[in-house]
Each structure stands twice: as structure tokens, then as C-alpha cells.
Amino acid sequence: MPTSNLIKKLFFVLILSITLFGTEFKDYLKAHNDEFTKYQKDIDNDFATYKKAYDEAFKEYKSEITKKWPTPDISTNFKWVEYDRNYNSKKAVDFQKQKIDLEVIANDRKEAEMKLTKMFEDLTTYDVNKGYLNDILEQKISRKLGMGREPLQSKEQLISDMISKENEQTIKDGITADKLKEVKYKDKLIYKIEIPFPPNALLVKAKLYKGKVQEEAKKQNLDEALIYAIIENESSFNPLAKSYVPAFGLMQIVPQTAGVDSYYALYGQKKLLDSEYLFEPNNNILIGATYLNLLYYKYLKNIKDPQNRLYCTIASYNGGSGTVANSFSGAKTISQASNEINSLSSDDLYKKMMKDISSSETRKYLFKVRKSFNEYSARLKKGAF
């Protein structure tokens, strides 16, 4: 133990240091904060530039589609859509509804049958990289930004990892002229066919990510079931998922928020992640799991009960922690709401959140993710996944 005289001397030295070097220390802090503010400003400017290019490209893309098709069918978080260069055919894989829709403009049923069969054969060769490189909207955005496009590293198949060779042949045999639906639009005939996924297709898809999910769950001290549940409800395991926010990939990462926060937590650098990075499944799960860790262990750390914190993490992943906080006595932050949250049992908290969270989307999200979480937990416990 230091003596009282020594303590006094140390205290005097500390006071003297603050007096002599306080200005320098304040200047250091100011420079550090200014640098951080500049980083954030650069991120915001970069995102604004990207969003402007995205909006312009989206408008052009939509306009081009409607010249030949009754309604513009565009990729979403649950559905991948691709048109050919001339917009005469369309492939769509709906991971949520578990079906493939093929449509083509043709002169008659026989021609349509031939073209649709060829389209399905082509689709069975698609990997994530091919789907990304052929994306007309992404091509337009890149041109507007004056950027090149690099191939993705992932070799994950788009559909053929869910469909056996036997099923592929059965599907091809089923594309016959008499089964095609015919729609007339303007002066053209559109022929279409709907192909359901085989049973358990999404479970097969989910298992592709088992290694990466296990790895990130262990690193981030998360339950594997939570990562699977988030992926299922964000994208239904569509590796090329995108939404107009914009958000990208399996866990629907928003570049300006979750992307920046997670990348900074991982690498100590503020960076705006692009679609190319986020469409890589391994990158996406890395960033998504890191963001879940930030929510659970940092942003929501004042919530003591693990189950309560889990519910708030799920809701915050969708609507932000502010949306969750606002449902508790008008609090603006989770810190302000934590006392009330900590006073509730997990059942009571869940009921209150389902009743009082202002966003219906976030309420539905909490309900669906909680259900999926319990299902994946049961599968993992049984070793059936």
C-alpha cells in the first residue's frame, strides 16, 4: 500500500500534469473527435452518392421492364429476379414462397416450351457469382458510379444445391406446352410456368452455411439458432437478397449502419461496404453476426435478463434500439428504458413489446424470429440440423 505522503505526491503530480498538459490533451481529444467526425461525414457522403446512383439506376431499370412486361418484377430480399438483356425472358426464384417462376415472350406455345426448358437448364448452372454479374440493376449502378465490377468468390449454386439431378429431369419433362399459362400484353404473348421447390429445399440450403454459422456463433458468443432465425426471416436463405433500403445478402446488411458499425468493431476502420462484399455469403454472415454481438453485448448491455435481452436484440435488428426504447414510458434510449425492462419477466416483456412497439413490421419480425429461433434450437438439440 502506498503511504499517505506518497499518495499526496502522486496527486500533486497528477494535478500539475493536467494543468501543464491539459491544453495538449484537449487538443488531442479534439483532433481525435474531429477525425472520427470526418470519417462519419465521408461515410455519409459516400452513401449519399451511392444512393443517388441506386435510385437513378432503379428508375431506369423499372422503366425498361415496363416497356415489355405488365408489371415490373424486381429482386427483393426473398426473391431473385433476372431478365435477359432484351427483356424478352424472366427467371425468378422465390425463396420464401419456395418456387421458381419462368416467363418468356414467344410467338406460340411450342416456341415458349423450348425457350422455357432452355431457361431452366441455364438456371441450374447458376452460381452466386453468375447471378451477381448478370444483374442488370447492379451493372447500371456500377456504370453510374464509374466503378468496375469484380467477380464474387462464392461458388454456391443458386438452385441446383436444393434440387437433385433426378428432380431436375422431372422438372424439365414437366415443361410442356399444355401446362403453360398464356397472357397477352400489348401486342405480345407471354408464356409462364411455376415450378415448386422440392420438399425440405430450404433446410438443404440452410445447411450450406452450417460451418460459417458455427464459426461466427462461437466467435461472437451467440446461439447458432439466432443466426439461422435471422437469416431465414431476412432472406429465406437467398444469397443474392436485396431490398430498396438498400440492404444486401443473407442477413440484409444496411451498409450505412450495421455494415459500418460491424466493420469498425472487427477492423477498427470506418468503411462503407458495397454490394459486392455483402453478396459473399461468408462476409455477410461475418458482418451480421458481429452486429448481433454489438446489439446484445454492447448496445443492450444494461438489460440483465438474457431472454429479455434476446427479445430486444431481435427487435432492434429490425427496427433499431430507439424503436424498442420508445415503447417503454416514452424512453428515447435503451438505457432509459432498461429499468422498466429489467423489472419484467421475459413473458411479460414479450407481451408488452408485441403490444406497444409502434412499428407493426418490428412486431411481426419479433414474432416470426422468436418462432424460428425455437424451431432451430429444437433441431440443433436433436442433432437434426
pLDDT for 383 equals 87
The residue with cell 429461433 is 373
d(CA 82, CA 123): 10
Q: Residue 248 pairs with which residues in a beta bridge? A: 242, 253
**What is the spatial distance between Cα 270 and Cα 259, in angstroms, rounded to a whole number?**
9
* pLDDT at site 3: 42
Cis peptide before 246 (omega within 30 of 0): yes
Share of the chain above pLDDT 90, in %: 84
Other C-beta atoms lying within 10 Å of the C-beta of residue 157: 20
What per-residue confidence (pLDDT) applies to 43? 87
pLDDT digits (tens, 9 = 90+) for 67-81: 999 999 999 999 999
In the structure, what pLDDT confidence band is assigned to residue 119 with cuts at 50, 70 and 90? very high
Q: Over 80: is that where the pLDDT of 166 sits?
A: yes
Fold of 203-382: Lysozyme (1.10.530)
Residue 34's pLDDT band, with cuts at 50, 70 and 90, is low
pLDDT of residue 331: 84
pTM for the predicted model, two decimal places: 0.89
Q: Is the pLDDT of residue 233 over 90?
A: yes
Q: Give me the mean pLDDT over the 122-144 stretch.
A: 96
pLDDT, tens only, 44-54: 899 999 999 99
Query: Domain segments of the chain: what residues?
Result: 79-198, 203-382
Count the Cβ atoms, other than its own, within 10 Å of residue 30. 10
Q: What is the pLDDT of residue 31?
A: 53
Question: Does the pLDDT of residue 249 top 50, yes or no?
Answer: yes
Query: What is the rounded distance in angstroms from the CA atom of residue 274 to the CA atom of residue 174?
Result: 40
Say yes or no to pLDDT of 156 above 90.
Answer: yes
Enumerate residues 6+ apart whose C-beta is below 8 A from 191.
103, 104, 105, 106, 109, 112, 113, 116, 180, 181, 182, 183
DSSP letter at 78?
S
